């Protein structure tokens, strides 16, 4: 903040400049002026915030100087110094907008107090202006957000305000309501700064505001721009140049989604919708570059459900309680989906949700009756705020921990681990020796403890689990009986049918027909 001292007496002028440490007060002392005329000549260029002037000088006096300064710089604070204790002069000075009135005989601390009062007045004005700017910016943001999402067709006053803003920012050049002006919506996200992500977005927004005729709206992880469309300047090629400037200057990655060209307010909403649709492909299209609706036009969607093989792989990893293998497996599966050229945000979301569902199914199969699964509901949804592979890993890792923490509290944990293994391998031949080997227990001891803990022999348990799975498949699908048999570990279809009828009292076909009749 700058202060200018004006006095035609050299002793007073020099004394005021040297006796008080202006720098210590947070003020930059400009070279003193020896007359009001000199001060007026310098003020437009030097723009002092505070003027400390004598009231009686040869030529123009301090009161006239104050009036002239207020015409040039209305916010300047003026402190009058005089050797005359003249109340009339004081009244004239105060009416002229002077901050304070001091005698030249005032002690330095009184002058300092007056200067600090003037400084505080200026700071209060600056803060008021800042707050007003923030309020105006918030109102403009609300107006633009409303225009892009709902439209302003029913509010002429709001439309007028919007287009006044557009014209002031160079988005519109016409003096009418903006009809016929070509505009596009651009969504921009910047990444690459480990810290100060918000600062990066703000810096990029400021750069593009200086480079392009636009208005902007800041969101949480990106910002929206409405840009005037001009071929060769703000078309795709021109926007790419501006975005490249941001990339090179800020050393960051820039992803941008460009909407369609709009010629009216309704078209602007459509441009925003198109840009939003393209922006949803961030991560599928890449982390950098400018993309348009043409870039996603041919994407029909990749598969949305994990395969039985993938579900078996996942079950094995979860059962082995290996977080490293789980992370690698999830990263590979999700990355493969993200790199599929047919993938869409919905298809990827469907696939990763199917991985979470597969994890839940495994836990339900593997868990004992004693385990508390009340926390499962909190693990059924992805947060969607981080990288998709990291989100999936967090959920599956939590499911894995629930199961194994429960095992740690059970004396015969290996029996429950064996049961989970059996349920995951019902489609394969699984012998008692094979399962006992999996849990590293002697087969004879395993057989004895297994019967005591489950209430049935190993063969009875496997048969019962296979029949339960077969019933579920019969009820929920139209799969052929031969395929169901193989799905639950029977190559001999006749033997499977016999076992099914023995367990349910009906053949698979009769059971399916009976289920339909009951419905």
Helices in 180-320 by DSSP H: which ranges?
A: 197-211, 236-250, 265-279, 308-320
Enter the CATH code of domain 150-295: 3.30.70.270
Topology (CATH level 3) of domain 2-125:
Rossmann fold (3.40.50)
* Stronger pLDDT, 485 or 85, i.e. the higher one: 485
Give ranges for CATH 3.30.70.270 in the chain: 150-295
**Rounded Cα–Cα distance for residues 283 and 325 (Å):** 24
The structure tokens listed for 3 are 């202060």
Per-residue pLDDT, 397: 92
> In this predicted model, what pLDDT tens digit does every residue of 224-281 receive, in sequence order?
999 999 887 788 899 999 999 999 999 999 999 999 999 888 889 999 999 999 999 9
Burial grade of 412 (CB within 10 A; 0-12, 13-18, 19 or more): middle
Range from 29-38, 312-321, 403-412 that averages highest in pLDDT: 29-38
Predicted local distance difference test score (pLDDT) of residue 378: 47
159, 164, 165, 170: CA torsion to nearest 10 = 120
Global pTM value: 0.62
- The dihedral through the CA atoms of 501, 507, 512, 513 has a sign that is negative
> What is the CATH class of 413-519?
mainly alpha
Does the pLDDT of residue 382 top 70, yes or no? no
List, in sequence order, every residue forming a beta bridge with 217; answer none if it has no partner.
224
Mean model confidence pLDDT for the chain: 86
- In angstroms, how far apart are the furthest CA atoms of the chain? 123
Domain with CATH 3.40.50.2300 in the chain: 2-125
Instruction: Give span(s): CATH 1.10.10.60, the chain.
Output: 413-519
The pLDDT value given to residue 96 = 64
Backbone phi, psi, residue 94, to 5°: -65, -35
Calpha distance 64→493 (Å, rounded): 112
Least confident range from 157-171, 325-339, 409-423, 447-461: namely 409-423
Q: What is the dihedral of CA 382, 385, 388, 391, to 10 degrees?
A: -50
């Amino acid at each position: 903040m700058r202060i200018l001292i004006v006095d035609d007496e050299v002793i007073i002028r020099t004394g005021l400049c040297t006796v008080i440490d202006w720098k210590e007060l947070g003020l930059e002392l400009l070279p003193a002026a020896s007359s009001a005329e000199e001060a007026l000549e310098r003020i437009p260029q030097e723009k002092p915030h505070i003027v400390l002037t004598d009231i009686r000088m040869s030529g123009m006096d301090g009161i006239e100087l104050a009036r002239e300064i207020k015409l040039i710089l209305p916010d300047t604070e003026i402190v009058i110094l005089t050797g005359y204790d003249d109340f009339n002069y004081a009244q004239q000075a105060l009416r002229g907008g002077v901050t304070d009135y001091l005698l030249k005989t005032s002690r330095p601390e009184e002058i300092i107090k007056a200067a600090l009062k003037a400084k505080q007045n200026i700071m209060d004005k600056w803060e008021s202006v800042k707050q007003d700017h923030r309020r105006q910016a918030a109102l403009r943001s609300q107006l633009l957000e409303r225009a892009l999402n709902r439209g302003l067709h029913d509010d002429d006053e709001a439309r007028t305000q919007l287009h006044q803003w557009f014209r002031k920012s160079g988005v519109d050049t016409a003096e009418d309501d903006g009809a016929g002006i070509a505009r596009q919506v651009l969504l921009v996200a910047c990444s690459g700064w480990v810290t100060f992500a918000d600062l990066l977005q703000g810096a990029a927004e400021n750069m593009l505001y200086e480079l392009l005729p636009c208005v902007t709206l800041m969101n949480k992880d990106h910002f929206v721009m409405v840009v005037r469309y001009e071929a060769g300047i703000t078309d795709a090629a021109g926007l790419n140049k501006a975005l490249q400037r941001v990339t090179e200057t800020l050393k960051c990655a820039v992803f941008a989604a460009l909407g369609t060209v709009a010629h009216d307010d309704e078209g602007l909403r459509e441009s925003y919708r198109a840009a939003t649709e393209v922006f949803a492909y961030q991560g599928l299209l890449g982390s950098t570059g400018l993309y348009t609706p043409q870039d996603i036009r041919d994407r029909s969607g990749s598969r949305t459900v994990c395969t039985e093989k993938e579900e078996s792989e996942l079950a094995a990893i979860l059962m082995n309680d290996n977080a490293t293998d789980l992370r690698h497996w999830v990263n590979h599966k999700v990355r493969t989906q993200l790199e599929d050229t047919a993938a869409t945000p919905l298809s990827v979301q469907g696939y990763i949700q199917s991985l979470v569902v597969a994890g839940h199914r495994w836990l339900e199969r593997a868990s004992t009756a004693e385990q508390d699964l009340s926390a499962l509901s909190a693990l059924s949804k992805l947060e969607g705020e981080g990288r998709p592979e990291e989100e999936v890993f967090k959920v599956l890792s939590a499911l894995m921990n629930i199961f194994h923490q429960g095992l740690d509290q059970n004396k015969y944990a290996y029996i429950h681990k064996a049961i989970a293994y059996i349920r995951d391998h019902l489609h394969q031949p699984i012998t008692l020796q094979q399962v006992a080997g999996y849990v590293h227990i002697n087969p004879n001891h395993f057989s004895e403890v297994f019967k005591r803990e489950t209430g049935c022999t190993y063969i009875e348990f496997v048969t019962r689990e296979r029949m339960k799975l077969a019933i579920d498949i019969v009820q929920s699908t139209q799969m052929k009986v031969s395929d169901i048999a193989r799905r639950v570990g029977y190559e001999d279809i006749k033997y499977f049918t016999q076992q099914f009828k023995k367990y349910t009292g009906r053949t698979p076909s009769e059971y399916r027909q009976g289920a339909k009749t009951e419905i």
